[in-house]
């Protein structure tokens, strides 16, 4: 099972990199690519919320920079992430790490998730935000790196869930599929993914951002 999972994940990573994954020139784009790779591993194997952190390490190939016990304790908040809480509010405890301009991107992501009206429009607005962030933020800043990682996760996550809606791949798994959610709930899940990446980088644990965001996505999608 593990070898099949890792092969599938590697193929997903290769497909993402060979497509438009780096179209925006985002230096943090690997975070979004990793998010989709780990999320596909979790969902393809129908991993329940309470097992997902262990599964990320044991079966999906993620290698945490801490013990398994510490990894569980550090990221147990992903089990019950509230998808209705605005991103800017989630990031308030880390507010001092960001300049005014950097932090404003979280507020603008919230606006997209509330007002987009469709997944297509959300994708266009996310892309515009990401291009602006790449063009105007200093990637050497930790705050900017967090914003760029979050926007990469948003773009990749939205592409993933849009694909799931079109294919309905998990319709027989007992999970609620995006075809039954509508654009608002899809963007609520995407928002939770973005929050997973943003909070993790805010905690100073940026290497874990892609995997943790995938866990957040898996948990929230189960709860929808």
Q: Average pLDDT of each block of 10 consecutive residues along the chain (224 residues)?
A: 48 46 77 97 95 98 97 96 93 95 98 94 96 96 96 96 64 48 90 95 95 95 83
Q: Which residue stretches of 19-118 are H helix?
A: 29-44, 52-58, 68-75, 87-90, 100-115
Q: Would you state the pLDDT for residue 224?
A: 76
CA atoms 134, 154, 75, 114: torsion sign: positive
Which pTM does this prediction carry?
0.86
The helix or strand, by DSSP H or E, that contains position 158, with its residue range, turns out to be helix 142-167
Q: Which domain holds residue 76?
A: 2-223
Distance CA 194, CA 190 (A): 6
Residue with tokens 């880390």: 94
Query: How many distinct structural domains can be found in the chain?
Result: 1
> What is the reported pLDDT for 3?
46
Q: Give residue 24's pLDDT.
A: 56
pLDDT at 182: 86
Q: Please give the Cα distance from 48 to 72 (Å, whole number).
A: 15
Q: Please tell me the predicted confidence (pLDDT) of residue 19.
A: 42
């Amino acid at each position: 099972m593990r070898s099949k999972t890792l092969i599938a994940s590697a193929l997903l990573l290769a497909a993402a990199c060979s497509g438009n994954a780096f179209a925006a020139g985002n230096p943090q784009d690997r975070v979004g690519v990793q998010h989709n790779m780990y999320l596909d591993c979790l969902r393809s194997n129908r991993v329940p919320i309470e097992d997902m952190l262990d599964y990320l390490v044991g079966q999906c190939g993620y290698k945490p920079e801490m013990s398994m016990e510490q990894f569980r304790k550090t990221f147990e908040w992903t089990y019950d992430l509230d998808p209705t809480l605005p991103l800017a509010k989630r990031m308030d405890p880390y507010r001092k790490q960001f300049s005014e301009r950097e932090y404003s991107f979280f507020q603008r992501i919230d606006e997209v998730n509330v007002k987009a009206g469709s997944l297509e429009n959300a994708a266009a607005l996310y892309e515009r935000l990401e291009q602006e962030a790449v063009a105007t933020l200093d990637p050497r800043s930790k705050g900017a790196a967090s914003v760029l990682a979050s926007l990469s996760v948003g773009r990749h996550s939205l592409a993933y869930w849009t694909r799931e809606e079109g294919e309905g791949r998990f319709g027989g798994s007992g999970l609620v599929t995006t075809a039954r959610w509508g654009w608002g709930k899809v963007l609520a899940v995407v928002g939770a993914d973005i929050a997973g990446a943003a909070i993790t980088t805010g905690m100073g644990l940026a290497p874990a951002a892609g995997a943790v965001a995938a866990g957040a996505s898996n948990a929230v999608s189960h709860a929808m």
